[in-house]
Amino acid sequence: MTDQHKGLWLAFAGIMILSFDSLLVKLIGGSPWDLLFWRGALQASSLFFIQLIFNRHELVQDFTPPTKLVLLAGVLFAASTICFVESLNHTQVASTLVIVNTAPLFTSLLALIVLKERIERPTQIAIAIAISGIWIIFAFAPGDGEWIGNLYAVFTAMSTAIYLVIMRKTKGQHAASFLIASGILVALYSLYQGASPLSVSQSQFIYLLLLGGLVVPGAYLCISKSPAYIPAAQTSFILLAEVLLGPLYVYLFVGDVPSANDMAGGAIILTTLGMHTVWQIRKSTSRRVDF
């Protein structure tokens, strides 16, 4: 398997797992700070024990004391997590995911400036088409009070873009440490904001275990490793699939009906994503044959 294929499979695996994030947040409900505490604490503890067993040397190296890079990436990912959940609590799922997934624009610009990484023309075109699909979804005017949710989503997109560029720069190394640090920071900040972790119900805690112990760490380990093999902008572009999958799952399990804009824009995004991925695989295969 080529590096290109590894990167694509990691990104796709990550987004398929992550697409359940919005649904679980909606199913959990309750206080956003309680949710964020358990999301961060379970994410940090599950990855800590995995690293303790399989990669203790890196764990000790990164946290005794914590390196500046671990702290920076941890703060960025913690900010992304907090803003994402706050956005979902202030606006519609589709609106949140639409704005969050403008991250490819920020990622492309940062990768060009920081990494001097040229974005190929087909990828530029694909991003432009996908963004047009996003704005079709966003064509409806948000209701009163939803602007704060949209603003949280913008901060999420910017934080995600910077995080992915860091992953590209470090070739995906220390990804688990970054996620452990961010989980700890999210949990601590939630306690500062008045979280009451023991107030959650049994059914809520089951969903929290799935979210914080499996979905978030599993998805972001895959996503964080992906930029080691493919450009950060391409990883960010693949994450656009969440715009379609997230609202779809919420509709199927919760009953929130997507608008016509959601479905039309989602179809454009999914088609563009599929065509671009096929092009990348063919290009990678052609290079391997030529070699």
* DSSP, residue by residue, 187-223: HHHHHHTT--GGGS-HHHHHHHHHIIIIIHHHHHHHH
Q: What is the pTM of this model?
A: 0.79
Low-confidence stretches of the chain (pLDDT < 50) are 141, 291
**Domain carrying residue 116:** 3-290
Q: State both tokens at 46.
A: 């599950």
Q: What is the pLDDT of residue 116?
A: 79
Q: Which phi and psi (to 5°) does residue 66 adopt?
A: -60, 135
**What's the domain count of the chain?**
1
The residue length of the chain stands at: 291
Q: Please work out, in degrees rounded to the nearest 5, the angle formed at the alpha carbon of residue 150 by the alpha carbons of 144 and 156.
A: 160
Q: Which amino acid is at 19?
A: S
Angle between helices 93-100 and 121-137 (to 10 degrees): 160
pLDDT at 193: 92
Peptide bond into 142 cis (omega under 30): no
pLDDT value, residue 47: 92
Measured in whole angstroms, the distance separating CA 237 from the mean position of its chain's CA atoms is 11
Contact 135, 269 (CB under 8 A): no
Position 291 scores a pLDDT of: 47
